[in-house]
Structure 1
C-alpha cells in the first residue's frame, strides 16, 4: 500500500529557489511509489488568517479551505519544505498551516530546509519542529537541509555537484523514517480511535 504524502512549500518571493527542493522531494517520494502531491501556499493563496477552518459553520468554509482540509485529512504524512527568513520561518507557509488544527492530528511530519547560504535553513527547521509538534504532528528526527541551494539543485529540482550528491545520499533515510511513521500511525488509527 502506498503512502499519501503532502509536500508543503510556502515561499511567495519573486525568485523562489526553494521550489527546487520541493520538486526534488516530490520526485523522490514518487519514485518510491508513494502518492505524493505538492501544496504550494502561493498557488493556494489563502488570505492572512482571520478565521480558522473550524471556525466556519459546518459546510460553510470557502471552497479552497474545504478542499485543503480534505487533502490534509486524507494524507498519511507531510513534508514541510521551508526556507529561512531572518532566522525564522516563511510567513506564507505558516499562514497556510495556521488555518487548520485538528486536521493535522495523529500524522507524522518531516522537515526539509534550505537557504542560499551554508546554514541550510537550520534555524527555520528548528522553529518548525516545535510548531508542528504543537499542532498535533509527530515530527520525525531525520531531516534534509540544503545550502547553498543554487549549487545543490538545478532549476528543475535535480541534484547537482557535491551538495547534490550528499542530498541524494541523505534522502533515503529521510524517506524511510517518514514512511515508518506513516505506516505506524495509519495502523494505529485503524486499530484504535484517537483519544481526542
Structure 2
C-alpha cells in the first residue's frame, strides 16, 4: 500500500518529526511505501486557491505554488491511505495541518485516514484528534475507529523516532492492523467502482 504521512506542525522546535519518523518506520516494517508530506518543509501560503483551481491555471503568479502541489497531487492519486500526524494547539489542530489538508479534495475520496496524535502532556493530543474526526471525513478521508495517541512525546520517542516506552513499542500493533484492514478494504472497493 502507498501511505501519505501528513505532518502538520510548522514550529521550529516541533516534536512531530519524532512521531512522523515512528509512523513511517511502522508502516515500512509492514511492507508499505510511506511518504512524508511535511507542512513545515512545504511552507505553503494560507489557502487562496485549491489544487483543482490551480492545476489548469496558466497565470504566472500560480506557477510556484503549482510546482509545490503537483507532486502531492501525484502522490495522493497513488495513495491507499493517509496517516495524519497531529500535535495539539489550543485543544485543536495545528493551523499548518489544516492548511495542508484544505488544498485538496477529490484526491482524498474513498481512502481511509488514521490519526496519530501527540503532545508534551499525558493527554497525547486527543483533543486535536477529536477535531480531526470532524475535518477529515468532510474532505473525503473517513477515519478508522482507533486513535494512536503519543503522550509526553519527548519521553516516549527519541529524536530518531524510536519508541522509548513499552506501551508504544508493544501496544500499537492493533492500531496499524486496523489501518491495514481499512486500506485493503477501501482499495478493493475503489477497484469495484465508486458511487460517483
TM-score, normalised via structure 2 length: 0.93
Q: Does 1:80 align with 2:84?
A: yes
The 8 Å contact of residues 144 and 167 in structure 1, kept in 2 or not, is answered as no
Q: How many residue pairs were aligned?
A: 190
Structure 1 unaligned segments of length 5 or more: list them: none
CA distance in 1, matches of 2:29, 2:19: 15
1:47 to 45, 48, 51: 45
Change (3 A) 1:128 1:190: same
Partner of 1:36: 34
CA distance in 1, matches of 2:54, 2:43: 18
TM-score, normalised via structure 1 length: 0.93
SS in 2 for 1:143: strand
The 8 Å contact of residues 82 and 111 in structure 1, kept in 2 or not, is answered as yes
2:118 to 114, 131, 142: 114
CA distance in 1, matches of 2:30, 2:57: 36
SS in 1 for 2:4: strand
Q: CA RMSD in A?
A: 1.2
Partner of 1:145: 149
CA distance in 1, matches of 2:16, 2:69: 24
The Cα of 1:57 is off from its aligned counterpart by 5.0
